[in-house]
Structure formats: structure tokens, C-alpha cells
Amino acid sequence: MDWIKRISNSILISLLLLLLLAVPVFAISNPNSISLNTSKVFQNIFVNGDVLFIGEHNVDYATSPNESADEAFQFQMKSADDTTIIRTKGITDYQWSLTSHYFTPSQVTSSNITWGSLYVTRIIGDPILFPVPVEGTTQATKTLTSTDWNIDGSITSKELLRLYLLQVARRIENDSGQTLLFSDYNGNKVLNSTGRAIFLAALPNIDTVIPTLFQTFASNPNFNSVSINSTFEDATVLSSNMGTKIENAFEGIGNFFGISKEMAAGSWLMLFALTIASIVFLNTGNTTGAIILTIPIIVTGAFLGAIPIAFLFTFGFLAVTYAAYFFWLRGT
């Protein structure tokens, strides 16, 4: 029987060792300090009837833990009697920062959010990492008061939110030493690119409804004047692009018909383009297709010097006008 006991004990010890190895060991320490500095509520920010809760908090660590802030600490919104969690969310960042809870109008109804209620808000360590919460050590609590609710009135809730966020930005600046604010060209304080990243992480898409909170750029366009000349047009002539022999050929044809060599070359090119257009039309019956296929021929002829560049631009203008008529005006 002793050998049975020894085997049983060995199995039991092995199972206990496996269990101990399977249980994760968390090395995160308590923060140096933790506080929920302000909790504010705003309405009608994105749509009429919505409600936005914001918690301004400071989870202070000399060196940020390996665990991300949203894994280690949560921003909770609880009922006034502190018994029911209405919503919880991982905080945005360590140190001085802010996190928000946004309720759409339908969520306001389904969550039974009552304007002016004395809800409990709390920053609390994740129960897995901090099994026993201690106020002032791993959690910080603030109960909303009537002054924390910012009603949409003569000063809109959006403007009240903008002013509040600027105050938060100043406090983050003072705590972290970072520069988050910038004076725009009107002398108003706005968030710079660093502040923009911090506040959009806490309040996604807030820039779409309060654009005046963020830095914008304005400048006068600088156009360099260019002297107009005909260098390019002068360079696109028959002799430079098609060679002297072809130039002489068109000059001989022009002399025979009593016209210039440029007109002879242009007439030949247009005859070629019309021939292509005729073949396309006779085989497809498509007038538009026939005209479009002549465009590469005319452009090539202009760059070879067979027709003037000015004609190319005139033809281009007419083509664009016809396209506008064909696609947008023909059916009206």
C-alpha cells in the first residue's frame, strides 16, 4: 500500500507544480500616486441627445509598466449608490491624461442615463493585476456634482467642452513638460500636433465637431512669374522632327498646289486622321469612337511639326467641350 501512496503523492505534487506554472505572475507595481482630478459631462456633442462623460486622471509612474495603460487601469462609471457598473473602459494613458465614455441617444435611453444624477466615477486597477483595490493607492473615486453637468444653453455644450479641454491641456503641460498648446494666427489657443494626438486618442473624431480646438495652417500661395515665349513651338517644326527630306517633300507638294509646306503637311495629317475616323465609323457606326481615335494622330502630328501647336490646343479645347456636352449635357 505504501507504494500506492507514494505514486499518489507524486501525481498530486506534479499536478500542483503544473498548476503553479500555469498561474501567471504579475510584476506590475502600484503607481506612485493615483487621482481622478475632474469628471465632466457634456451633451449634444456629435448629435442632439448624446452624452459624453470625461475623466481627467493621473496614474503616476516614474517608469511606465510593461502592461499598457488600458490593460492595467479602467475608467468606470457607476450608479449613484456605487453598486452597478454602467460602463467601464481602459484608460487612455499613464501619467496625466483623460478618458471618455460616449453614449449615443439610444444608449442614453438603454443605459437609463439621467441628466444631473450623482453618478460615481472611478479610476481603478484591473482586478486581475490588482485583486484588492485600495482607495488612493490603486483606485481613485469622484462622485459627480451638479456643477459637473454642462448643459447646452446660451453657451453651447461644444464651446464649454472646448474650454474645458484647453484647461486640461494646460494641466497636462504643467505636469509633463510637453507643449500641447499653440497660438493660432488670431491669437487663440489651440492644440498643436502633439496635443491633437493625445486628445483624439481620448475623444475619437472630436476634431470633426470642434475644429477650432485644433491647430490649422494658412499661408499665401507663392507663384513664380514665368516669361511667355514660343521656344517650344519654334522647336516643333518639320525640319527638326521629321528631317530635311520629308520637309522638302512637303515643300514640293505645297509648291505644286500653291500652298505652304506647313499647310501641305497639315492637310496630309488631317486626311490621314479622317481616313482612320471613316474606317472606324463604317465598321462600328460609333461617331464618338471615331473622333476619339483621331486624337492620338493629331497630337502626334503637332509634336512632329505637321500642324501648329496652337491648333493642338484649339482642338483640345473643342474635344473637352464636346466631352462635357456628351457626358453631362446631352440628356438635359
- Of 80-84, 166-170, 318-322, the least confident: 318-322
Residues 50 and 171 grouped into a single domain: yes
Closest CA to 115 of 72, 148, 83: 148
Residues 206 and 62 grouped into a single domain: yes
| In a domain? residue 263 | yes
Q: Is the pLDDT of residue 15 over 50?
A: no
Average pLDDT of 198-224?
A: 83
Instruction: Note the pLDDT of residue 144.
Output: 97
The C-alpha atoms of residue 41 and residue 79 are separated, in whole angstroms, by: 15
Quote the cell numbers at residue 123: 479610476
The whole domain housing 310 covers 236-329
Give residue-wise pLDDT tens across range 57-78: 999 999 999 999 999 999 999 9
| In a domain? residue 123 | yes
φ/ψ region of 34 (left if φ > 0, alpha if ψ in -120 to 50, else beta) reads beta
pLDDT band at residue 114 under the 50/70/90 scheme = very high
The C-alpha atoms of residue 213 and residue 168 are separated, in whole angstroms, by: 12
pLDDT band at residue 94 under the 50/70/90 scheme = very high
| In a domain? residue 27 | no
Give residue-wise pLDDT tens across range 303-319: 666 666 666 677 667 77
Q: Is the pLDDT of residue 85 over 80?
A: yes
| In a domain? residue 252 | yes
Domain boundary among 213, 248, 277: 213
Closest CA to 64 of 89, 109, 91, 29: 29
Instruction: Note the pLDDT of residue 17.
Output: 44
- Of 4-8, 154-158, 196-200, the least confident: 4-8
Instruction: Note the pLDDT of residue 28.
Output: 87
Residues 154 and 107 grouped into a single domain: yes
Instruction: Note the pLDDT of residue 283.
Output: 78
| pLDDT above 70 coverage of the chain, percent | 70
Average pLDDT of 19-38?
A: 73
Q: Is the pLDDT of residue 26 over 90?
A: no
Instruction: Note the pLDDT of residue 209.
Output: 95
Average pLDDT of 221-240?
A: 61
Domain boundary among 152, 178, 213: 213
| In a domain? residue 2 | no
Instruction: Note the pLDDT of residue 317.
Output: 73
Please indicate whether residue 61 or residue 279 has the higher confidence score (pLDDT).
Answer: 61
Instruction: Note the pLDDT of residue 117.
Output: 96
Domain boundary among 198, 213, 228: 213
The C-alpha atoms of residue 288 and residue 216 are separated, in whole angstroms, by: 47
Residues 109 and 61 grouped into a single domain: yes
Average pLDDT of 20-49?
A: 83
